[in-house]
Chain A
Protein backbone atom coordinates (compact mmCIF):
# COMPACT_ATOMS: atom_id res chain seq x y z
CA UNK A 1 0.00 0.00 0.00
CA UNK A 2 1.13 3.47 -0.89
CA UNK A 3 -0.08 4.73 2.51
CA UNK A 4 2.80 2.86 4.12
CA UNK A 5 5.35 4.96 2.21
CA UNK A 6 3.67 8.16 3.35
CA UNK A 7 3.52 6.91 6.95
CA UNK A 8 7.24 6.14 6.79
CA UNK A 9 7.95 9.68 5.59
CA UNK A 10 5.91 11.12 8.47
CA UNK A 11 7.71 8.96 11.05
CA UNK A 12 11.19 9.77 9.73
CA UNK A 13 10.43 13.51 9.63
CA UNK A 14 8.74 13.48 13.05
CA UNK A 15 11.71 11.68 14.62
CA UNK A 16 14.02 14.33 13.16
CA UNK A 17 11.88 17.12 14.60
CA UNK A 18 11.73 15.38 17.99
CA UNK A 19 15.51 15.14 18.03
CA UNK A 20 15.95 18.79 17.01
CA UNK A 21 13.53 19.92 19.72
CA UNK A 22 15.03 17.69 22.40
CA UNK A 23 11.93 15.53 22.82
CA UNK A 24 13.13 12.20 24.21
CA UNK A 25 9.74 10.55 23.97
CA UNK A 26 6.94 12.13 21.99
CA UNK A 27 3.34 11.36 22.92
CA UNK A 28 1.38 13.53 20.55
CA UNK A 29 1.71 13.76 16.78
CA UNK A 30 -0.82 15.70 14.75
CA UNK A 31 -0.87 14.89 11.05
CA UNK A 32 -2.99 16.68 8.49
CA UNK A 33 -4.18 14.62 5.54
CA UNK A 34 -5.30 16.47 2.42
CA UNK A 35 -8.47 15.22 0.82
CA UNK A 36 -7.02 15.48 -2.69
CA UNK A 37 -4.70 12.53 -2.13
CA UNK A 38 -7.64 10.21 -1.33
CA UNK A 39 -5.70 8.34 1.34
CA UNK A 40 -7.11 5.23 2.97
CA UNK A 41 -7.10 6.66 6.49
CA UNK A 42 -7.39 3.32 8.23
CA UNK A 43 -4.39 1.91 6.36
CA UNK A 44 -2.39 5.11 6.87
CA UNK A 45 -3.07 5.26 10.62
CA UNK A 46 -2.34 1.55 11.03
CA UNK A 47 0.99 1.94 9.22
CA UNK A 48 1.90 5.08 11.10
CA UNK A 49 1.23 3.50 14.50
CA UNK A 50 3.26 0.43 13.59
CA UNK A 51 6.22 2.41 12.26
CA UNK A 52 6.18 4.82 15.23
CA UNK A 53 6.34 1.87 17.62
CA UNK A 54 9.66 0.91 15.99
CA UNK A 55 11.05 4.46 15.78
CA UNK A 56 13.25 6.00 18.46
CA UNK A 57 11.53 8.93 20.25
CA UNK A 58 8.15 7.94 18.79
CA UNK A 59 7.43 4.62 20.52
CA UNK A 60 4.80 6.18 22.80
CA UNK A 61 3.23 8.40 20.18
CA UNK A 62 -0.51 8.45 19.57
CA UNK A 63 -1.08 9.92 16.11
CA UNK A 64 -4.00 12.26 15.58
CA UNK A 65 -5.20 12.62 12.02
CA UNK A 66 -7.03 15.70 10.79
CA UNK A 67 -8.65 15.71 7.34
CA UNK A 68 -8.16 18.89 5.34
CA UNK A 69 -10.91 19.39 2.75
CA UNK A 70 -9.39 20.07 -0.66
CA UNK A 71 -10.19 23.51 -2.04
CA UNK A 72 -9.26 24.31 -5.62
CA UNK A 73 -8.99 27.73 -7.30
CA UNK A 74 -9.11 28.36 -11.03
CA UNK A 75 -6.13 30.37 -12.30
CA UNK A 76 -8.13 31.46 -15.33
CA UNK A 77 -11.41 32.77 -13.93
CA UNK A 78 -10.73 32.81 -10.18
CA UNK A 79 -13.60 30.49 -9.27
CA UNK A 80 -13.01 28.40 -6.14
CA UNK A 81 -14.62 25.06 -5.40
CA UNK A 82 -14.35 22.04 -3.14
CA UNK A 83 -12.91 18.81 -4.49
CA UNK A 84 -15.80 16.92 -2.91
CA UNK A 85 -18.08 18.55 -5.50
CA UNK A 86 -15.98 17.13 -8.37
CA UNK A 87 -15.09 13.70 -7.06
CA UNK A 88 -18.11 11.90 -8.43
CA UNK A 89 -17.01 12.86 -11.94
CA UNK A 90 -13.84 10.77 -11.60
CA UNK A 91 -13.65 7.10 -12.56
CA UNK A 92 -12.00 4.60 -10.23
CA UNK A 93 -8.81 4.60 -12.35
CA UNK A 94 -8.68 8.39 -12.34
CA UNK A 95 -9.13 8.48 -8.58
CA UNK A 96 -6.32 5.99 -8.22
CA UNK A 97 -4.03 8.12 -10.40
CA UNK A 98 -4.76 11.17 -8.23
CA UNK A 99 -4.22 9.06 -5.12
CA UNK A 100 -0.73 8.14 -6.33
CA UNK A 101 0.11 11.63 -7.54
CA UNK A 102 -2.31 14.43 -6.62
CA UNK A 103 -1.04 16.66 -9.46
CA UNK A 104 -2.53 14.15 -11.90
CA UNK A 105 -5.83 15.84 -11.00
CA UNK A 106 -5.03 18.39 -13.73
CA UNK A 107 -5.54 15.65 -16.31
CA UNK A 108 -9.03 14.77 -15.11
CA UNK A 109 -10.56 17.79 -13.39
CA UNK A 110 -11.54 21.20 -14.70
CA UNK A 111 -12.96 24.36 -13.21
CA UNK A 112 -16.73 23.93 -12.81
CA UNK A 113 -17.21 27.51 -14.02
CA UNK A 114 -14.95 27.68 -17.11
CA UNK A 115 -13.70 24.07 -17.51
CA UNK A 116 -10.01 25.11 -17.43
CA UNK A 117 -7.58 22.49 -16.09
CA UNK A 118 -5.31 25.36 -14.97
CA UNK A 119 -6.16 25.48 -11.29
CA UNK A 120 -4.25 25.41 -8.03
CA UNK A 121 -4.82 23.44 -4.88
CA UNK A 122 -5.37 26.11 -2.23
CA UNK A 123 -5.81 23.62 0.62
CA UNK A 124 -5.93 19.90 1.26
CA UNK A 125 -3.29 18.54 -1.12
CA UNK A 126 -1.41 15.87 0.84
CA UNK A 127 0.15 14.84 4.14
CA UNK A 128 1.79 17.29 6.54
CA UNK A 129 2.93 17.30 10.16
CA UNK A 130 1.11 19.98 12.16
CA UNK A 131 2.77 19.34 15.52
CA UNK A 132 4.68 16.97 17.74
CA UNK A 133 5.00 17.19 21.52
CA UNK A 134 6.14 15.23 24.57
Chain B
Protein backbone atom coordinates (compact mmCIF):
# COMPACT_ATOMS: atom_id res chain seq x y z
CA UNK B 1 0.00 0.00 0.00
CA UNK B 2 1.24 3.43 -0.97
CA UNK B 3 1.12 5.64 2.18
CA UNK B 4 1.55 8.97 0.37
CA UNK B 5 -2.07 9.78 -0.64
CA UNK B 6 -3.08 9.66 3.04
CA UNK B 7 -0.88 12.65 3.90
CA UNK B 8 -1.32 14.97 0.91
CA UNK B 9 -4.35 16.89 2.16
CA UNK B 10 -2.65 17.37 5.53
CA UNK B 11 0.41 18.83 3.78
CA UNK B 12 -1.86 21.35 2.06
CA UNK B 13 -3.95 22.13 5.14
CA UNK B 14 -2.47 25.63 5.42
CA UNK B 15 -3.23 26.48 1.80
CA UNK B 16 -6.46 28.43 1.33
CA UNK B 17 -6.88 28.09 -2.41
CA UNK B 18 -5.28 25.83 -5.02
CA UNK B 19 -5.33 27.03 -8.61
CA UNK B 20 -4.13 24.85 -11.48
CA UNK B 21 -3.15 26.81 -14.59
CA UNK B 22 -3.88 24.65 -17.60
CA UNK B 23 -5.01 24.77 -21.23
CA UNK B 24 -3.85 21.55 -22.80
CA UNK B 25 -1.76 23.03 -25.61
CA UNK B 26 1.96 23.69 -25.37
CA UNK B 27 3.18 27.21 -26.11
CA UNK B 28 0.03 29.08 -25.12
CA UNK B 29 1.66 30.77 -22.15
CA UNK B 30 0.58 28.58 -19.22
CA UNK B 31 3.93 28.93 -17.47
CA UNK B 32 4.14 32.67 -18.15
CA UNK B 33 0.62 33.14 -16.80
CA UNK B 34 1.26 30.97 -13.72
CA UNK B 35 4.55 32.76 -12.98
CA UNK B 36 3.00 36.16 -13.71
CA UNK B 37 0.02 35.51 -11.43
CA UNK B 38 2.35 34.34 -8.65
CA UNK B 39 4.53 37.43 -8.99
CA UNK B 40 1.55 39.78 -9.13
CA UNK B 41 -0.09 38.20 -6.06
CA UNK B 42 3.17 38.18 -4.09
CA UNK B 43 3.79 41.86 -4.88
CA UNK B 44 0.27 42.60 -3.64
CA UNK B 45 1.26 41.13 -0.28
CA UNK B 46 -0.35 37.73 -0.53
CA UNK B 47 1.33 34.52 0.60
CA UNK B 48 1.83 32.68 -2.66
CA UNK B 49 3.19 29.27 -3.61
CA UNK B 50 4.10 28.16 -7.12
CA UNK B 51 4.52 24.49 -7.98
CA UNK B 52 5.86 23.79 -11.46
CA UNK B 53 4.51 20.37 -12.37
CA UNK B 54 5.98 20.24 -15.84
CA UNK B 55 8.31 17.43 -14.79
CA UNK B 56 10.20 16.98 -18.04
CA UNK B 57 10.37 20.59 -19.22
CA UNK B 58 10.02 22.91 -16.22
CA UNK B 59 10.26 26.59 -17.12
CA UNK B 60 8.70 28.73 -14.39
CA UNK B 61 12.14 29.12 -12.77
CA UNK B 62 13.53 30.44 -16.06
CA UNK B 63 10.71 32.97 -16.42
CA UNK B 64 11.15 34.25 -12.86
CA UNK B 65 14.94 34.04 -12.80
CA UNK B 66 15.01 31.58 -9.90
CA UNK B 67 18.14 29.46 -9.54
CA UNK B 68 18.11 25.69 -9.37
CA UNK B 69 19.30 25.23 -5.80
CA UNK B 70 17.89 22.26 -3.89
CA UNK B 71 15.11 22.92 -1.37
CA UNK B 72 15.89 22.67 2.34
CA UNK B 73 15.29 19.40 4.19
CA UNK B 74 13.52 19.88 7.51
CA UNK B 75 11.00 17.19 8.44
CA UNK B 76 10.14 17.21 4.73
CA UNK B 77 10.97 19.40 1.77
CA UNK B 78 10.92 23.12 2.47
CA UNK B 79 10.53 24.98 -0.85
CA UNK B 80 12.71 27.89 -1.92
CA UNK B 81 11.41 31.42 -1.48
CA UNK B 82 12.19 33.85 -4.30
CA UNK B 83 10.56 37.21 -5.12
CA UNK B 84 8.17 36.51 -2.22
CA UNK B 85 7.02 33.28 -3.90
CA UNK B 86 7.34 29.89 -2.18
CA UNK B 87 8.58 27.83 -5.10
CA UNK B 88 9.12 24.19 -6.02
CA UNK B 89 10.10 22.77 -9.39
CA UNK B 90 11.51 19.56 -10.82
CA UNK B 91 14.39 21.77 -11.99
CA UNK B 92 15.61 21.82 -8.38
CA UNK B 93 16.30 18.09 -8.73
CA UNK B 94 17.31 17.69 -12.35
CA UNK B 95 19.01 21.01 -13.13
CA UNK B 96 19.46 21.49 -16.86
CA UNK B 97 19.44 17.75 -17.59
CA UNK B 98 16.68 16.02 -19.51
CA UNK B 99 14.58 13.63 -17.44
CA UNK B 100 12.13 11.59 -19.56
CA UNK B 101 9.50 10.89 -16.91
CA UNK B 102 6.37 9.18 -18.19
CA UNK B 103 3.51 6.85 -17.40
CA UNK B 104 3.06 5.89 -13.77
CA UNK B 105 6.30 7.68 -12.91
CA UNK B 106 4.54 10.99 -13.57
CA UNK B 107 2.01 10.10 -10.89
CA UNK B 108 4.76 8.90 -8.57
CA UNK B 109 6.74 12.13 -8.87
CA UNK B 110 3.66 14.30 -8.40
CA UNK B 111 2.52 12.29 -5.40
CA UNK B 112 5.99 12.40 -3.86
CA UNK B 113 6.12 16.19 -4.17
CA UNK B 114 2.69 16.55 -2.59
CA UNK B 115 3.44 14.07 0.20
CA UNK B 116 6.73 15.51 1.46
CA UNK B 117 6.59 19.24 0.71
CA UNK B 118 5.86 21.59 3.61
CA UNK B 119 4.12 24.57 2.02
CA UNK B 120 3.18 26.21 5.30
CA UNK B 121 0.42 28.82 5.32
CA UNK B 122 -0.43 30.22 1.91
CA UNK B 123 -3.28 32.33 0.57
CA UNK B 124 -2.94 30.56 -2.74
CA UNK B 125 -0.91 27.77 -4.32
CA UNK B 126 -0.59 28.10 -8.09
CA UNK B 127 0.21 24.94 -10.04
CA UNK B 128 1.77 25.24 -13.48
CA UNK B 129 0.64 22.18 -15.41
CA UNK B 130 2.36 20.57 -18.39
CA UNK B 131 0.77 20.36 -21.85
CA UNK B 132 -1.60 17.49 -22.53
CA UNK B 133 -4.69 15.98 -20.98
CA UNK B 134 -3.10 12.80 -19.67
CA UNK B 135 -1.29 11.74 -16.53
CA UNK B 136 -0.49 15.05 -14.87
CA UNK B 137 -3.88 16.71 -15.39
CA UNK B 138 -5.84 13.66 -14.28
CA UNK B 139 -3.56 13.23 -11.28
CA UNK B 140 -4.23 16.81 -10.25
CA UNK B 141 -7.98 16.23 -10.48
CA UNK B 142 -7.65 13.08 -8.33
CA UNK B 143 -4.98 14.15 -5.86
CA UNK B 144 -6.02 17.79 -5.43
CA UNK B 145 -9.80 17.60 -5.02
CA UNK B 146 -9.85 21.23 -3.81
CA UNK B 147 -8.07 22.49 -6.91
CA UNK B 148 -9.79 24.97 -9.20
CA UNK B 149 -8.73 25.31 -12.80
CA UNK B 150 -7.63 28.47 -14.58
CA UNK B 151 -7.72 27.87 -18.32
CA UNK B 152 -5.36 29.78 -20.63
CA UNK B 153 -6.40 30.17 -24.26
CA UNK B 154 -5.10 32.00 -27.32
CA UNK B 155 -6.82 33.07 -30.52
CA UNK B 156 -5.37 30.48 -32.91
CA UNK B 157 -7.91 27.92 -34.20
CA UNK B 158 -5.38 25.21 -33.32
CA UNK B 159 -5.23 26.41 -29.72
CA UNK B 160 -9.00 26.81 -29.50
CA UNK B 161 -9.49 23.22 -30.66
CA UNK B 162 -7.23 21.90 -27.90
CA UNK B 163 -8.67 24.18 -25.22
CA UNK B 164 -12.18 22.98 -26.14
CA UNK B 165 -11.02 19.42 -25.43
CA UNK B 166 -9.51 20.56 -22.16
CA UNK B 167 -12.76 22.24 -21.11
CA UNK B 168 -14.72 19.15 -22.15
CA UNK B 169 -12.52 16.94 -20.00
CA UNK B 170 -12.61 19.24 -16.98
CA UNK B 171 -16.40 19.40 -17.15
CA UNK B 172 -16.71 15.62 -17.45
CA UNK B 173 -14.71 15.13 -14.25
CA UNK B 174 -16.63 17.94 -12.50
CA UNK B 175 -13.48 19.95 -11.93
CA UNK B 176 -14.20 23.40 -10.47
CA UNK B 177 -13.44 26.17 -12.96
CA UNK B 178 -11.99 29.45 -11.70
CA UNK B 179 -12.16 31.13 -15.10
CA UNK B 180 -10.43 31.84 -18.37
CA UNK B 181 -7.42 33.97 -19.22
CA UNK B 182 -7.20 35.17 -22.79
CA UNK B 183 -3.54 35.26 -23.82
CA UNK B 184 -1.72 36.47 -26.94
CA UNK B 185 -4.81 38.34 -28.11
CA UNK B 186 -4.27 40.51 -31.18
CA UNK B 187 -4.61 44.18 -30.11
CA UNK B 188 -7.26 44.74 -32.79
CA UNK B 189 -9.42 41.89 -31.46
CA UNK B 190 -12.03 42.72 -28.82
CA UNK B 191 -11.66 41.58 -25.22
CA UNK B 192 -13.76 38.46 -24.75
CA UNK B 193 -13.51 37.24 -28.34
CA UNK B 194 -11.45 34.18 -27.37
CA UNK B 195 -13.84 33.31 -24.55
CA UNK B 196 -16.82 33.76 -26.85
CA UNK B 197 -15.33 31.22 -29.24
CA UNK B 198 -15.00 28.73 -26.39
CA UNK B 199 -17.71 29.21 -23.79
CA UNK B 200 -19.34 32.59 -23.20
CA UNK B 201 -20.38 31.43 -19.74
CA UNK B 202 -16.79 31.17 -18.54
CA UNK B 203 -15.69 34.23 -16.56
CA UNK B 204 -12.85 36.09 -18.29
CA UNK B 205 -10.32 36.82 -15.56
CA UNK B 206 -7.98 38.80 -17.80
CA UNK B 207 -7.38 39.46 -21.47
CA UNK B 208 -3.70 39.81 -22.33
CA UNK B 209 -2.47 41.09 -25.67
CA UNK B 210 0.47 39.53 -27.45
CA UNK B 211 3.42 41.28 -25.80
CA UNK B 212 6.37 41.45 -28.18
CA UNK B 213 8.58 42.71 -25.35
CA UNK B 214 7.86 39.82 -22.99
CA UNK B 215 10.77 37.65 -24.10
CA UNK B 216 13.20 40.40 -23.06
CA UNK B 217 11.76 40.28 -19.51
CA UNK B 218 12.26 36.55 -19.03
CA UNK B 219 14.57 35.85 -16.12
CA UNK B 220 14.25 39.36 -14.68
CA UNK B 221 11.38 39.54 -12.19
CA UNK B 222 11.60 43.33 -11.82
CA UNK B 223 11.41 43.91 -15.54
CA UNK B 224 8.68 41.28 -15.87
CA UNK B 225 6.64 43.01 -13.16
CA UNK B 226 6.58 46.24 -15.16
CA UNK B 227 5.72 44.59 -18.50
CA UNK B 228 2.51 45.12 -20.46
CA UNK B 229 1.86 41.39 -20.01
CA UNK B 230 1.82 41.74 -16.23
CA UNK B 231 -0.25 44.93 -16.28
CA UNK B 232 -2.92 43.19 -18.32
CA UNK B 233 -2.73 40.01 -16.22
CA UNK B 234 -3.20 41.87 -12.94
CA UNK B 235 -7.04 41.85 -12.99
CA UNK B 236 -6.87 38.04 -12.88
CA UNK B 237 -4.54 38.11 -9.88
CA UNK B 238 -6.92 40.47 -8.07
CA UNK B 239 -9.97 38.38 -8.99
CA UNK B 240 -8.41 35.10 -7.89
CA UNK B 241 -7.18 36.31 -4.48
CA UNK B 242 -9.55 39.11 -3.59
CA UNK B 243 -9.18 38.79 0.17
CA UNK B 244 -6.91 41.21 2.03
CA UNK B 245 -3.29 39.99 2.40
CA UNK B 246 -2.88 37.23 4.99
CA UNK B 247 -6.63 37.14 5.48
CA UNK B 248 -6.51 40.03 7.92
Contacts and interface: CB of A to CB of B under 8 A. Distances in A.
Interface of A: 1-2, 4-6, 8-10, 12-14, 16-17, 93, 96-98, 100-104, 106-108, 117-118, 120-121, 125-130
Given A2-B77, A97-B70, A101-B113, A12 B10 contact: yes
Contacts of A2: 73, 76-77, 116
Contacts of A106: 94, 98-101, 105
Interface in B1-58: 1-7, 10, 55
B185 interface: no
Contacts of A97: 70, 92-94
A106 B94 CA distance: 9
20 contacts: A5-B118, A9-B116, A13-B3, A13-B4, A13-B5, A13-B7, A100-B93, A101-B90, A102-B108, A103-B101, A103-B105, A104-B90, A107-B99, A117-B100, A120-B103, A120-B105, A127-B4, A128-B3, A129-B1, A129-B2
Contacts of B116: 2, 5-6, 9, 100
Nearest to B2: A128
A10 B70 CA distance: 24
Nearest to B6: A13
A9 B77 CA distance: 13
A1 B73 contact: yes
A3 to B, nearest CB: 9
Interface in B89-142: 90, 92-95, 97-103, 105, 108-109, 112-113, 115-116, 118
A118 B4 CA distance: 25
A93 to B, nearest CB: 8
B174 interface: no
Contacts of A101: 90, 93, 109, 112-113
Interface SS, B side: loop
Interface of B: 1-7, 10, 55, 70-71, 73-77, 90, 92-95, 97-103, 105, 108-109, 112-113, 115-116, 118
In the A-B complex, list the 7 residue pairs whose CB atoms are closest, starting with the nearest: A5-B76, A13-B3, A13-B6, A107-B94, A107-B97, A104-B93, A106-B99
Contacts of A93: 70
Contacts of B90: 101, 104
A96 to B, nearest CB: 7
Contacts of A17: 1
A16 B113 CA distance: 21
Contacts of B118: 5
A129 B3 contact: yes
A4 B76 contact: yes
A102 B112 contact: yes
B6 A16 contact: yes
A125 B103 CA distance: 14
Given A8-B7, A125-B108, 12 more contacts: A2-B73, A5-B116, A97-B94, A101-B93, A101-B109, A102-B108, A103-B105, A104-B93, A106-B105, A108-B97, A126-B108, A127-B4
A117 B100 CA distance: 7
Most buried by B among A2, A5, A14: A5
Contacts of A100: 70-71, 73, 77, 93, 116
B111 to A, nearest CB: 9
Contacts of A120: 103, 105
Nearest to A118: B100
